[in-house]
Amino acid sequence: MSNKTSRESTQEKKDFERFPLSSIIGENHLIHAAIASLIFIIVWTPYRFLTSILISKGISIRVVDSLVKPAVKSGIVLFCLRFLDKIPRNQYLRELGMKRENLFKGLALGLLAWFLYTITLQYVKLCLSADGLLLPSLRIMAWEPSKYFLDMAYFVFIIGLFEEMFTRGYILKELFNGITGKFRLLIALLFSGALFSLFHFPIDIFVMKYALDQLLLHSLFTLSFSVLAGVLFVRSGWQIVGVVVLHGLMDAKPLFYLAHPEARFDLVGKELLIAYLVSFSAPLLAIELIHKVRKKVVIGISSVRGLSSQDGF
């Protein structure tokens, strides 16, 4: 029993070990996360105010964001890595989770999470629609492949990449490294999720012009997504690629629809809240289940190898 407990403890440490470079530069990770978040809010709030003016002049927000978002978010991250964390330049990408290790694992989990979220959300909407439960009617939506995949590239490589590099790759990692205790991961996920929701306030207020109830609902949506993305990031071995793909695919139009052409979706308030919570829970539970099964398999294999070595095999 003691050997099993020791192996589980060792495996847990491997799952949640600190980044080696970050651990040698001091214990100011929480301050670093706070500084990065504050700089972003100070810069992004007036930018989003100006964005609403640009849109009124007929300028596309996508065109402007394609230039501004990468510059602002990568600039803040690079500033923090260099002057706060003092990470060597050749380790920047690795520190943010852009590495070859666990690449396939992260990508597979990201695609699985997107598929489960999308299919669950659409099915729940079918159940809660005005017409009641209708039989699913699969429809592939990429009728114009060039336009569809161009849009997808924008959401993955502009929106997903730079938002995840900033929020998960830097802020979540800093929060996790700065928090101690048994529930450090949960606390880091919730705090990073709250910040992620806060980061969306400027666009929700100045561009989307949400009412209070819409703002609260969208904040819950972004918080739920952030928790899912954070769990995916950690369970992928701090590999960011799968999270980037998940984010981009969720922002883009779905590749498929289960809805019947005559189905009417007018979900608001409580019904929409239920749909989102159930849809985020499905991939989250799947990722955790895969993680636990994999951990038990690894422990079992280690136990067998240990017994074999003791028996002289």
pLDDT digits (tens, 9 = 90+) for 83-115: 999 999 999 999 999 999 999 999 999 999 999
Q: 256 forms bridges with which residues in the sheet?
A: 140
Q: Which of residues 191 and 257 earns the better pLDDT score?
A: 191
Give per-residue pLDDT as tens, 220-271: 999 999 999 999 999 999 999 999 999 999 999 888 777 665 566 666 777 8
**What pLDDT score was predicted for residue 26?**
46
pLDDT given at position 253: 85
pLDDT of 12:
44
Tokens of 244: 């980037």
d(CA 85, CA 27): 10
Whole-prediction pTM: 0.88
Q: Report the pLDDT value the prediction gives residue 269, as an integer from 0 to 100.
A: 75
Paired tokens of 91: 């380790």
Q: Each residue of 170-190: pLDDT tens digit?
A: 999 999 999 999 999 999 999
Tens of pLDDT, residue by residue over 275-300, are 899 999 999 999 999 999 999 998 88
The helix (H) or strand (E) run that includes residue 111 is helix 103-128
Q: Can you tell me which residue has the tokens 């019904």? A: 271
Domain boundaries, the chain: 9-303
Is 77 in contact with 170 (CB distance < 8 Å)?
yes
pLDDT given for residue 301 in this prediction: 82
The pLDDT tens digits for 264-275 are 666 677 788 888
Residue 78 burial by Cβ neighbours in a 10 Å radius (0-12, 13-18, 19+) = middle
pLDDT at 27: 60
pLDDT at site 256? 79
Helices (H), 129-211: 145-154, 161-166, 173-178, 184-199, 201-202
Under DSSP, the state recorded for 19 is P
Question: Are 258 and 135 within 8 A, CB to CB?
Answer: no
Q: What is the pLDDT of residue 270?
A: 79
pLDDT value, residue 21: 46
**Tokens 């029993």 belong to residue:** 1
